[in-house]
Amino acid sequence: MRVLMLEGGIPDRLVRTTLPRLVLVPVVFRLAMLVQALWAAGFSGPSVLWTFAVLHLVPNVAEAIWVLRGSPAGTRLVPVADAGFTALVTLGAALPAQDLTITSITWTHLMGTVMLWTLLRGALAGALVVGGGVVLHSVLDPASSLGLFLTLATALVASLAVVGLVGASMRFALGFGEQQGRAAERERHRRDVHDTVLQVMESFAIPAPADELDPAASLDRVRRTARAQAMRLRISLEHEPAGPVGLHQRLRLLAAEMAAEGLRAEVVVQDDCGPELPEETAMALHDAAREALRNTLKHSGTRRAVVSVEGIGGGISLTVRDHGAGFDVGDRRRGFGLENSIIARMAEVGGFARIESSPGLGTRVVLLAPSVLSLPVG
C-alpha cells in the first residue's frame, strides 16, 4: 500500500499514520464472520467449537490494541505473528472430527490473514499468503483446495479494492485541502494588502489643516510615513519575530502608529487581561482593531478613539469606540474592510465582531475572541 499511495503524491507521514489503522479491516471482518458462524451453530456447539472461537477472538483483539497503541514495530510484527497463528489454527482444526463451523472459522481466519498482508505489505505479499494457505490446506484436506483458493483470492481482490478506495480518498482529501489552503492564502494576501499598503495610501489622501499652512511639513509627514511603512513591510518579509508579542505590546505599538497618522487612540487594558493569549488570537485582535481605527480616521470626522480590553468568560473582549459622525449600520453596505479585515479575521480564531453605530452618535466595534484556539489557524 505504501508504494501505491506514495506514487499518488501522498506524504509519507500521512501514510505512516493511516497504514496501521488498516489492521482494523481484517479484524472487524473476522469478528463479524465469527458471530455469524456461532449464530448459525445456535450458540450451542461442542466445547471444541468454543475453544476455536476463543482462539479466534483473542489474537484479533490483541492485534487491534497492539497497532492502535501507535508502535511502529506493531505494523512490522503483526502480519508475521498473525500468519504464524493462522498456521497453528489451520493445523489444529484438522485434529478434531470435521466440523463445518470450525472449518468456516478457519477459512475466515485465513481470509483475514490474506487481507492483512495485502493491506500492509502489498498485492505480492497477499498472493504469497494465498499460495501458502492453499498448499497447507491441500495437505490436510485436498478435496477443498479449489474452494479455499477461490475464497482467499476473493479476499485478496477485496483488499486491493480497499487499498484503491483509501488511496483515492486520501488524494481527494489532500487535493481539497490544498485548494482550500490556496484560497485562504489568497484571501489573507488580499487582506494584508488592504490593511497595509492600501490603508497608508488612503491616509495620504486625507486632507489635513497643515496642507495649506505648511505644505513642506505635510510633504515631510507623508515621506516619513511612507518610509516607516516600507521599513515595516521589509522587516515582516525578511525576518521572523524573535518571540511571541503579547496583546498589550501590540496595542501600544498600534496607538503609536495611529498617532503618527493623526489619530489619538487611548488604550485601556484591564489588569492581567490577555497576557497568555495565543499568538494568532493576539494578532487577529490587533489587526481587526487597526482596521477599526483606520475607519475612524477616514470616516468619523474625529481624531480621538478609545481602545478598551477586558476579560470575559473564557475569552477577551476588545472594543474600539469613537464619538464621531457614525453611520446607519442597516443602510450601509459592508465593504472589504469590515467583512474581511474585521469579521472574517475574528471568525478565523473562533471569535466574532459586532459593529454598533448610529448617525451622530459615533461607532463602537466590539471584538470577542476565545482565550484558547479550538482549531489551528493558517
pLDDT tens-digit profile of 155-201? 888 888 887 887 777 777 777 777 776 776 676 666 666 666 666 66
Q: How much is the pLDDT for 64?
A: 76
- Residue 153 CB partners (closer than 8 Å, separation 6+): 130
Q: What parts of the chain have a pLDDT lower than 50? A: 1-7
Q: How much is the pLDDT for 319?
A: 94
Q: How much is the pLDDT for 1?
A: 40
pLDDT tens-digit profile of 335-362? 555 777 788 888 888 899 999 988 888 9
Q: How much is the pLDDT for 145?
A: 78
CA 127, CA 122: separation in Å to the nearest integer? 9
Contact 52, 35 (CB under 8 A): no
pLDDT tens-digit profile of 116-132? 888 878 888 889 989 88
Residue type at 64? A
Q: How much is the pLDDT for 210?
A: 61
220 exposure class (CB count in 10 Å sphere: 0-12, 13-18, 19+): exposed
Average pLDDT along the chain: 76
CA 130, CA 107: separation in Å to the nearest integer? 11
Q: In angstroms, what CA-CA distances link 260 with 98, 195, 229?
A: 93, 16, 11
Q: How much is the pLDDT for 306?
A: 94
Q: How much is the pLDDT for 3?
A: 40
Q: How much is the pLDDT for 7?
A: 44
Q: How much is the pLDDT for 2?
A: 42
Q: How much is the pLDDT for 273?
A: 61
Nearest to 59 by CA among 37, 45, 79: 79
